Amino acid sequence: MGFQQGLSGLSIASKALEAISNNVSNSGTVGYKEAVAQFSDVFAASLASGATQVGIGAQVSKVAQQFGQGNITTSTNGLDLAINGQGFFRMDNAGAITYSRNGQFQTDKNGYIVNAQGLRLTGKVADANGVLTGATGDLKLNLSDAKPQATGNAGYNVNLDSRSATPTSLTAASGTSAAITSLTGPSPSFTIASTDQLTFQLDGETGSTVVNLPAGTYSDVGSLAAAIQTSIDQSSLKGRIKVSGDSTPAITFTSARTGRLSGITVTGTLASLLPATTTQGSNANFSINDPSSYT
Protein backbone atom coordinates (compact mmCIF):
# COMPACT_ATOMS: atom_id res chain seq x y z
CA MET A 1 0.00 0.00 0.00
CA GLY A 2 2.72 2.51 0.93
CA PHE A 3 4.12 2.54 -2.60
CA GLN A 4 0.72 3.41 -4.12
CA GLN A 5 0.17 6.27 -1.66
CA GLY A 6 3.53 7.79 -2.49
CA LEU A 7 2.77 7.68 -6.19
CA SER A 8 -0.56 9.45 -5.63
CA GLY A 9 1.32 12.30 -3.94
CA LEU A 10 3.59 12.66 -6.93
CA SER A 11 0.59 12.59 -9.24
CA ILE A 12 -1.25 15.45 -7.53
CA ALA A 13 1.98 17.46 -7.30
CA SER A 14 2.30 17.06 -11.06
CA LYS A 15 -1.29 18.24 -11.55
CA ALA A 16 -0.63 21.26 -9.33
CA LEU A 17 2.41 22.16 -11.44
CA GLU A 18 0.29 21.80 -14.58
CA ALA A 19 -2.23 24.31 -13.19
CA ILE A 20 0.55 26.73 -12.24
CA SER A 21 2.23 26.38 -15.63
CA ASN A 22 -1.09 27.02 -17.37
CA ASN A 23 -1.57 30.18 -15.29
CA VAL A 24 1.90 31.43 -16.24
CA SER A 25 1.43 30.69 -19.93
CA ASN A 26 -1.87 32.63 -19.94
CA SER A 27 -0.56 35.63 -18.02
CA GLY A 28 -1.00 37.74 -21.18
CA THR A 29 -4.40 36.33 -22.17
CA VAL A 30 -7.13 38.96 -21.85
CA GLY A 31 -9.94 37.82 -19.53
CA TYR A 32 -8.10 34.71 -18.30
CA LYS A 33 -8.88 33.64 -14.72
CA GLU A 34 -6.39 31.82 -12.52
CA ALA A 35 -6.86 28.08 -12.00
CA VAL A 36 -6.08 26.46 -8.63
CA ALA A 37 -5.80 22.69 -8.17
CA GLN A 38 -7.67 21.43 -5.08
CA PHE A 39 -6.90 18.07 -3.46
CA SER A 40 -8.74 15.53 -1.32
CA ASP A 41 -7.89 12.42 0.66
CA VAL A 42 -8.69 8.94 -0.70
CA PHE A 43 -9.94 6.41 1.85
CA ALA A 44 -10.08 2.65 1.52
CA ALA A 45 -13.54 1.09 1.76
CA SER A 46 -14.65 -0.12 5.21
CA LEU A 47 -16.84 -3.21 5.53
CA ALA A 48 -19.96 -3.00 7.67
CA SER A 49 -18.82 -2.52 11.25
CA GLY A 50 -15.14 -2.81 10.44
CA ALA A 51 -12.72 -0.13 11.60
CA THR A 52 -11.85 2.77 9.31
CA GLN A 53 -8.97 1.86 7.06
CA VAL A 54 -5.85 3.93 6.48
CA GLY A 55 -6.16 6.25 3.50
CA ILE A 56 -4.69 5.13 0.22
CA GLY A 57 -3.36 8.50 -0.93
CA ALA A 58 -4.57 11.81 -2.37
CA GLN A 59 -6.27 12.97 -5.53
CA VAL A 60 -7.14 16.17 -7.37
CA SER A 61 -10.76 16.82 -6.46
CA LYS A 62 -11.17 19.74 -8.92
CA VAL A 63 -9.45 22.67 -10.58
CA ALA A 64 -11.21 25.83 -9.39
CA GLN A 65 -11.30 29.11 -11.34
CA GLN A 66 -10.56 32.27 -9.35
CA PHE A 67 -12.83 35.12 -10.51
CA GLY A 68 -11.05 37.98 -8.80
CA GLN A 69 -10.78 41.37 -10.54
CA GLY A 70 -7.81 41.60 -12.92
CA ASN A 71 -5.92 44.62 -14.16
CA ILE A 72 -7.55 46.94 -16.72
CA THR A 73 -5.21 48.15 -19.45
CA THR A 74 -5.58 50.76 -22.19
CA SER A 75 -6.05 49.93 -25.86
CA THR A 76 -6.03 51.74 -29.21
CA ASN A 77 -9.08 49.77 -30.40
CA GLY A 78 -12.27 51.75 -29.82
CA LEU A 79 -14.34 48.56 -29.46
CA ASP A 80 -12.23 46.98 -26.69
CA LEU A 81 -14.19 46.71 -23.42
CA ALA A 82 -13.47 45.72 -19.82
CA ILE A 83 -15.71 44.74 -16.91
CA ASN A 84 -14.90 46.22 -13.51
CA GLY A 85 -16.37 43.84 -10.97
CA GLN A 86 -18.66 40.90 -11.56
CA GLY A 87 -20.28 40.01 -14.84
CA PHE A 88 -19.63 38.56 -18.29
CA PHE A 89 -19.99 39.52 -21.90
CA ARG A 90 -22.93 37.65 -23.40
CA MET A 91 -21.97 36.08 -26.73
CA ASP A 92 -24.13 34.51 -29.44
CA ASN A 93 -22.61 31.39 -30.98
CA ALA A 94 -25.04 30.65 -33.85
CA GLY A 95 -27.97 30.69 -31.43
CA ALA A 96 -26.16 29.16 -28.46
CA ILE A 97 -25.42 31.68 -25.69
CA THR A 98 -21.95 31.65 -24.13
CA TYR A 99 -20.20 34.01 -21.70
CA SER A 100 -16.73 35.53 -21.67
CA ARG A 101 -14.63 38.03 -19.75
CA ASN A 102 -12.49 38.81 -22.82
CA GLY A 103 -13.51 42.24 -24.10
CA GLN A 104 -11.42 42.33 -27.29
CA PHE A 105 -13.94 43.04 -30.05
CA GLN A 106 -14.02 44.15 -33.67
CA THR A 107 -16.62 44.26 -36.44
CA ASP A 108 -17.13 41.61 -39.10
CA LYS A 109 -17.95 42.31 -42.75
CA ASN A 110 -21.65 42.68 -41.89
CA GLY A 111 -21.08 45.20 -39.10
CA TYR A 112 -21.69 42.85 -36.16
CA ILE A 113 -19.46 43.25 -33.09
CA VAL A 114 -17.59 39.96 -32.70
CA ASN A 115 -14.69 38.49 -30.75
CA ALA A 116 -11.65 36.68 -32.16
CA GLN A 117 -13.68 33.47 -32.53
CA GLY A 118 -16.41 35.23 -34.52
CA LEU A 119 -19.00 35.05 -31.73
CA ARG A 120 -21.36 38.04 -31.75
CA LEU A 121 -21.67 40.34 -28.75
CA THR A 122 -25.27 40.72 -27.57
CA GLY A 123 -26.96 43.51 -25.65
CA LYS A 124 -30.02 45.70 -25.34
CA VAL A 125 -31.20 46.89 -28.76
CA ALA A 126 -32.04 50.57 -29.32
CA ASP A 127 -34.62 51.99 -31.72
CA ALA A 128 -34.01 54.65 -34.40
CA ASN A 129 -34.12 57.38 -31.71
CA GLY A 130 -31.49 55.70 -29.54
CA VAL A 131 -34.00 54.51 -26.90
CA LEU A 132 -33.45 51.02 -25.50
CA THR A 133 -36.37 48.75 -26.37
CA GLY A 134 -35.69 46.08 -23.76
CA ALA A 135 -35.16 43.40 -26.39
CA THR A 136 -31.82 41.58 -26.47
CA GLY A 137 -30.06 40.92 -29.73
CA ASP A 138 -26.78 40.87 -31.57
CA LEU A 139 -25.13 44.30 -31.61
CA LYS A 140 -24.53 45.70 -35.09
CA LEU A 141 -22.94 48.93 -36.32
CA ASN A 142 -23.82 50.83 -39.49
CA LEU A 143 -20.65 50.70 -41.60
CA SER A 144 -22.07 52.33 -44.73
CA ASP A 145 -20.10 55.24 -46.16
CA ALA A 146 -21.12 58.71 -45.01
CA LYS A 147 -22.49 61.11 -47.61
CA PRO A 148 -19.52 62.92 -49.19
CA GLN A 149 -19.23 66.66 -48.70
CA ALA A 150 -17.26 68.96 -50.96
CA THR A 151 -14.37 70.89 -49.45
CA GLY A 152 -15.49 74.41 -48.63
CA ASN A 153 -12.24 76.08 -47.57
CA ALA A 154 -8.54 75.41 -47.95
CA GLY A 155 -5.51 77.17 -46.58
CA TYR A 156 -1.76 76.89 -46.53
CA ASN A 157 1.20 78.20 -44.55
CA VAL A 158 4.49 79.17 -46.17
CA ASN A 159 7.87 80.46 -45.05
CA LEU A 160 9.18 83.58 -46.74
CA ASP A 161 12.83 83.98 -47.68
CA SER A 162 14.29 86.30 -45.03
CA ARG A 163 17.25 87.06 -47.31
CA SER A 164 15.07 88.84 -49.88
CA ALA A 165 15.36 92.63 -50.03
CA THR A 166 12.31 94.58 -48.91
CA PRO A 167 10.85 96.37 -51.97
CA THR A 168 8.84 99.54 -52.10
CA SER A 169 5.36 98.04 -52.26
CA LEU A 170 1.66 98.61 -51.77
CA THR A 171 0.04 95.56 -50.21
CA ALA A 172 -3.54 94.76 -49.26
CA ALA A 173 -4.11 92.40 -46.34
CA SER A 174 -7.55 91.53 -47.73
CA GLY A 175 -10.12 92.77 -50.22
CA THR A 176 -9.93 92.98 -53.98
CA SER A 177 -8.48 96.43 -54.71
CA ALA A 178 -5.52 98.59 -53.75
CA ALA A 179 -5.74 102.32 -54.42
CA ILE A 180 -2.77 104.70 -54.45
CA THR A 181 -4.59 107.71 -53.03
CA SER A 182 -1.79 110.27 -53.16
CA LEU A 183 0.00 110.54 -56.47
CA THR A 184 2.14 113.66 -56.76
CA GLY A 185 4.61 114.73 -59.37
CA PRO A 186 5.76 117.61 -61.51
CA SER A 187 2.51 119.41 -62.24
CA PRO A 188 0.74 119.13 -64.57
CA SER A 189 2.45 116.07 -66.10
CA PHE A 190 4.00 112.75 -65.01
CA THR A 191 7.25 111.47 -66.51
CA ILE A 192 7.88 107.71 -66.69
CA ALA A 193 11.44 106.46 -67.22
CA SER A 194 12.35 103.37 -69.25
CA THR A 195 13.39 101.62 -66.02
CA ASP A 196 10.00 102.00 -64.33
CA GLN A 197 8.30 98.71 -63.50
CA LEU A 198 5.30 97.36 -61.61
CA THR A 199 5.44 93.93 -59.94
CA PHE A 200 2.11 92.19 -59.21
CA GLN A 201 1.44 89.30 -56.81
CA LEU A 202 -2.02 87.68 -56.80
CA ASP A 203 -3.27 85.72 -53.81
CA GLY A 204 -3.33 81.95 -54.28
CA GLU A 205 -0.54 81.97 -56.89
CA THR A 206 3.18 81.38 -56.71
CA GLY A 207 5.60 83.80 -58.27
CA SER A 208 4.96 87.35 -59.42
CA THR A 209 4.62 89.20 -62.73
CA VAL A 210 6.80 92.18 -63.67
CA VAL A 211 5.27 94.76 -66.04
CA ASN A 212 7.52 97.32 -67.77
CA LEU A 213 5.85 100.71 -68.13
CA PRO A 214 6.05 102.71 -71.39
CA ALA A 215 8.48 105.60 -71.00
CA GLY A 216 7.10 109.06 -71.67
CA THR A 217 5.42 112.14 -70.22
CA TYR A 218 1.72 111.95 -69.35
CA SER A 219 -0.40 115.06 -68.93
CA ASP A 220 -2.80 113.59 -66.37
CA VAL A 221 -3.52 110.57 -64.21
CA GLY A 222 -6.05 109.16 -66.68
CA SER A 223 -3.53 108.90 -69.53
CA LEU A 224 -0.97 107.37 -67.17
CA ALA A 225 -3.53 104.79 -66.00
CA ALA A 226 -4.37 103.95 -69.62
CA ALA A 227 -0.68 103.42 -70.43
CA ILE A 228 -0.28 101.14 -67.41
CA GLN A 229 -3.38 99.18 -68.46
CA THR A 230 -1.91 98.70 -71.95
CA SER A 231 1.32 97.32 -70.50
CA ILE A 232 -0.59 94.95 -68.23
CA ASP A 233 -2.74 93.68 -71.12
CA GLN A 234 0.45 92.83 -73.00
CA SER A 235 1.57 90.55 -70.14
CA SER A 236 0.26 87.29 -68.69
CA LEU A 237 -2.05 89.36 -66.47
CA LYS A 238 -4.27 90.39 -69.38
CA GLY A 239 -7.89 90.49 -68.25
CA ARG A 240 -6.96 89.93 -64.62
CA ILE A 241 -6.11 93.43 -63.40
CA LYS A 242 -8.01 96.62 -64.19
CA VAL A 243 -6.38 100.05 -63.83
CA SER A 244 -8.26 103.31 -63.40
CA GLY A 245 -7.29 106.91 -62.61
CA ASP A 246 -9.22 109.86 -61.23
CA SER A 247 -8.71 113.53 -60.40
CA THR A 248 -7.83 112.91 -56.73
CA PRO A 249 -5.24 112.17 -58.21
CA ALA A 250 -5.33 108.40 -57.62
CA ILE A 251 -4.57 105.23 -59.55
CA THR A 252 -6.52 102.13 -58.53
CA PHE A 253 -5.48 98.55 -59.34
CA THR A 254 -8.36 96.03 -59.05
CA SER A 255 -8.31 92.26 -59.48
CA ALA A 256 -10.82 91.28 -62.17
CA ARG A 257 -11.03 87.65 -61.10
CA THR A 258 -11.49 85.62 -57.92
CA GLY A 259 -7.81 85.86 -56.96
CA ARG A 260 -7.24 88.95 -54.82
CA LEU A 261 -4.63 91.56 -55.75
CA SER A 262 -2.37 91.25 -52.71
CA GLY A 263 0.76 93.13 -53.65
CA ILE A 264 2.09 95.90 -55.92
CA THR A 265 5.81 96.67 -56.02
CA VAL A 266 6.93 99.91 -57.70
CA THR A 267 10.51 100.46 -58.91
CA GLY A 268 12.24 103.21 -60.86
CA THR A 269 11.26 106.87 -61.25
CA LEU A 270 7.57 106.06 -60.69
CA ALA A 271 8.35 105.26 -57.05
CA SER A 272 9.38 108.87 -56.42
CA LEU A 273 5.99 110.01 -57.71
CA LEU A 274 4.14 108.00 -55.05
CA PRO A 275 5.11 109.45 -51.61
CA ALA A 276 2.13 108.09 -49.66
CA THR A 277 1.72 105.91 -46.59
CA THR A 278 -1.49 103.93 -47.04
CA THR A 279 -3.70 101.83 -44.80
CA GLN A 280 -6.62 99.64 -45.72
CA GLY A 281 -10.01 101.32 -45.31
CA SER A 282 -13.35 99.73 -44.46
CA ASN A 283 -14.26 99.53 -48.15
CA ALA A 284 -11.30 97.21 -48.88
CA ASN A 285 -9.42 100.06 -50.59
CA PHE A 286 -6.48 102.08 -49.24
CA SER A 287 -6.71 105.50 -47.65
CA ILE A 288 -3.96 108.07 -47.18
CA ASN A 289 -2.25 108.40 -43.81
CA ASP A 290 1.00 110.34 -44.05
CA PRO A 291 2.46 111.84 -47.26
CA SER A 292 6.04 110.89 -46.48
CA SER A 293 6.42 107.30 -47.70
CA TYR A 294 4.22 104.47 -48.84
CA THR A 295 3.91 100.70 -48.36
Residue 182 has pLDDT above 50, yes or no: no
pTM of the model: 0.38
- CA 266, 295, 278 angle in degrees (round to 5)? 120
Contacts 24+ apart (CB under 8 A), 267-272: 267/167, 267/168, 267/195, 267/196, 267/197, 267/199, 268/193, 268/195, 268/196, 268/197, 268/213, 269/191, 269/192, 269/193, 269/195, 269/196, 270/192, 270/193, 270/196, 270/198, 270/213, 271/168
For the domain covering 169-290, report its CATH number: 2.60.40
**pLDDT exceeding 70 applies to what percent of the chain?**
66
pLDDT of the residue at 98: 92
Q: Looking at per-residue confidence, does 255 or 26 come out higher?
A: 26
For residue 190, the cross-strand partners are 218
Q: Looking at per-residue confidence, does 176 or 271 come out higher?
A: 271
Residue closest to 259 by CA, chosen among 205, 180, 207: 205
Give the pLDDT band of residue 154 (cuts 50, 70, 90).
confident
Give the residue-averaged pLDDT of 73-86: 87
For residue 63, the cross-strand partners are 37
Q: Do 156 and 251 touch, CB atoms closer than 8 A?
A: no
Cα torsion angle, 198, 199, 201, 206, sign = positive
pLDDT of the residue at 91: 93
Give the residue-averaged pLDDT of 26-47: 76
What average pLDDT is seen over the chain?
72
Give the separation between CA 243 and CA 229, rounded to whole angstroms: 6
Give the residue-averaged pLDDT of 214-222: 79
- Domains of the chain: which residue ranges? 2-22+30-65, 89-138, 169-290
pLDDT digits (tens, 9 = 90+) for 245-293: 776 666 777 766 554 555 555 555 555 554 333 333 333 333 333 232 3
Amino acid at 39: F
pLDDT of the residue at 38: 83
Q: Looking at per-residue confidence, does 244 or 264 come out higher?
A: 244
pLDDT of the residue at 293: 30
